Amino acid sequence: MNIVKQLMATHGLRQIDIAESVGVSRPTVSDWVRNRKDPTGENLRNLSELFSVDPLVILGALSPEAQRVPHDDSPKTMEAKILSTCIDKMPAADRERALAMIKLTFPQYSDFFNEAENSSNV
C-alpha cells in the first residue's frame, strides 16, 4: 500500500483534506496516492509536517517505525536527505559524479554528504 494512502487512513483524512492542507489540487494528491508522482520541495515538507513524519517516510526511503521522534529536522537537513535518497537510487556508475556535482553546486550540503560517505565507508 502507498505510504501517503496509509498516512491518510491513519489520520482519517481524505484526498480533499490533504489537498487543502498542503495547498495543491485533489488530482495532485491522487497522483501521490497512486504512485504516479512523488511530492517534492515545499509540498513534501508540508506533507511531512501534516503527518508528523520524516520526508523520507513519504518518499518510501525510511519506514515510519524507523524515523526519529520528534521530527525536528531543519530544512537544510531535510533537503540534503532528499538529495541523498535520489543519489542512492541512481546506478552505481553515476553516483560518484552526481555527488561531486552536488557538493560543488551546493556547498552548504558538503558536511552532510561527507558524514554520510564516512559512515558508509566504515
- Report H helices in the chain: 3-11, 15-22, 26-33, 41-51, 55-58, 75-88, 92-105, 110-120
User: Which of these, 74, 32, 78, 77, lies nearest to 55 by C-alpha position?
Assistant: 78
Average pLDDT value over all residues in the chain: 79
Q: Which CATH class is domain 3-66?
A: mainly alpha
Q: Is the pTM of this model over 0.85?
A: no
- At 69 the pLDDT is 45
**In the chain, where the domains are located:** 3-66, 75-120
- Report H helices in 53-91: 55-58, 75-88
Per-residue pLDDT tens over the stretch 68-109? 544 445 556 666 777 777 777 778 888 888 777 777 777 766
More confident call, 24 vs 77: 24
Distances (CA, A) of 122 to 33, 37, 62, 118, 119: 37, 35, 21, 7, 5
